[in-house]
A and B are shown apart, each in its own frame.
Chain A
Amino acid sequence: MEIQAAPPAHQAPLSPSPHLLPPIFQSDTAPPQMITQGAEALLYRTTYLLPTLPCALKYRPSKPYRHPILDARLTKHRILSEARVLVKCRREGVPVPAVYAVDEREGWVMLEWVEGEVVRVKVNEWLRRRKELGVAEGVEEEVLKGLMGRIGRAIGRMHGGGGLCMGDLTTSNLMLRPKREDTVNGEGSRNAGDEVLGGEIVLIDFGLASQSSADEDRAVDLYVLERAFGSTHPRAEGLFSELLGAYGTSFKGANVVLKKLEEVRMRGRKRSMLG
């Protein structure tokens, strides 16, 4: 989940599990199904407790190139910090997947399965459909503006309410979960597939998140997302101000972050010039 971009060329993407899962999952009659692979972790879809409850299994396999003791400590630390951040977010009303179970020694965590698609895919689909229909840019963009607003408020809640920074905010780490009624009668909309952008924003992948309420870290979150929008959806970049506007009113102190963002834009993401 860490990186949803294409895996390195020498690795076959989504091949049947190249890594051996922890023992508890090895005897499954329906083995967990691999969804994606990041730099550190593998993401599977499986079930929790009952066959009717889908869940996401995030597994951090041990790294053979690391010293075993260091390896165990790093894995444990990363699994736990992500799980703690998610639980805290959920308590504060930030829309994130729930934590079902953690096994820090084996290196896995089971999370609520979030239906829907990542924002990157949805925005691209919407832009493509509009292009096919011949709608000019800058016309009837209310739906996209609405989406930007929802994203801004969700980030605001995480920063302001949760006191957390994501560390890796991209359009691949934002999901759109269709509302229940949308899935029933979502089809048949008349214009440009506007329902594509409907649904609730859910923040995913807190592998790099940290507890921080520093304006600098918050501004960097926004800056990274802005750059991500700029590079994956250049046509949507102009609407980033909508996101910032919604963010600015979402919690006390958000305006200071927006000031800081201008500073970050001038110099880039790294202030310390270390690492």
Chain B
Amino acid sequence: MALLETIHLEHLPTTPIHISLYRNVKNAPFLQQQLLAGNTDFEYAFIDASVIVSRIHVLSAAYRAINALHSHRLRSRNVHSEIVFSLSPNNNIAESFRRFGITATTENLLVVKVGGGREEVKRHLEGAVEGEAVGGMLDVGKVRKVYKLNSGGGGGKKGLGNGVVNEEEERRELEVFVLGAMALRGASN
């Protein structure tokens, strides 16, 4: 596990985040238990990697959560659970954990840690997560389902203009829908 990435988000220079991606995770039930038990050694956002479209997608969730933390507007237990909740297009916190968070059957895991020393985080994760690092593992069908992008009669995806919609552009459009749905969540009135 040498593939821990540390990022300083724009406008949040004092809060580094550490990200790591795993495949074939063997001890998902254990990790989930640590979260449910509130074990303070496991202050991480454990995300099911198959519903993450891109780096921007997960960074967007982290950005929203950290912004909420700084302005004292967290709606879930801590900044890490808030990251998982931030991915959700609706206000149901429990449901957001089921859909975007780690479950007992999760094999592809994305770990996000806000703050903390890089080496420390790296060492702890090495011991904690049993799996191999990195790779792409997006399930577009699942993403479209959880963000309800297939519903709505004549709606859904249409090609923009007369441009040929290639795979890259399609991925980009998917990212845009998802970011929009996330940004608007939680707003009443």
> A residues near B, CB below 8 A?
23-25, 27-29, 46-51, 53, 73, 76-77, 80, 83-84, 86-87, 90-93, 95, 98-106, 109, 112, 161, 200
Given A49-B56, A49-B60, A101-B63, CB of A24 within 8 Å of CB of B12: yes
Most A C-beta atoms less than 10 A away, residue of B11, B149, B154: B11
The chain A residue with its CB closest to the CB of B62 is: A49
Q: Choose one: B11, B67, B71, B155; the contact of A91 (CB below 8 Å).
A: B155
Structural contact, B9 and A49, CB atoms closer than 8 A:
yes
Please encode chain B, from 113 to 145, with 1 for each CB lying within 8 Å of some chain A CB and 0 for all others: 000000000000000000000000000000000
Give complex CA distance A105, B68 in Å.
11
Determine if B159 is an interface residue (Cβ-Cβ < 8 Å): yes
- Pick 25 A–B contacts, CB within 8 A, sort by A: A24-B12, A24-B67, A24-B70, A27-B14, A28-B13, A49-B9, A49-B63, A50-B7, A50-B59, A53-B56, A77-B189, A80-B184, A80-B187, A83-B187, A86-B180, A91-B155, A91-B156, A93-B160, A99-B179, A99-B183, A99-B184, A101-B63, A101-B179, A101-B183, A104-B187
Most A C-beta atoms less than 10 A away, residue of B60, B155, B187: B187
Question: Interface residues of B: mostly helix, strand, loop or mixed?
Answer: loop
Determine if B158 is an interface residue (Cβ-Cβ < 8 Å): yes
Determine if B26 is an interface residue (Cβ-Cβ < 8 Å): no
Structural contact, A23 and B184, CB atoms closer than 8 A:
no
Give complex CA distance A86, B184 in Å.
11
Structural contact, A83 and B183, CB atoms closer than 8 A:
yes
Give complex CA distance A93, B10 in Å.
29
Structural contact, A92 and B70, CB atoms closer than 8 A:
no
Given A80-B189, A112-B176, CB of A93 within 8 Å of CB of B157: yes
Nearest chain A CB to B158 CB, angstrom units: 4
Structural contact, A100 and B71, CB atoms closer than 8 A:
no
Determine if B77 is an interface residue (Cβ-Cβ < 8 Å): no
Given A23-B71, A76-B189, CB of A100 within 8 Å of CB of B183: yes
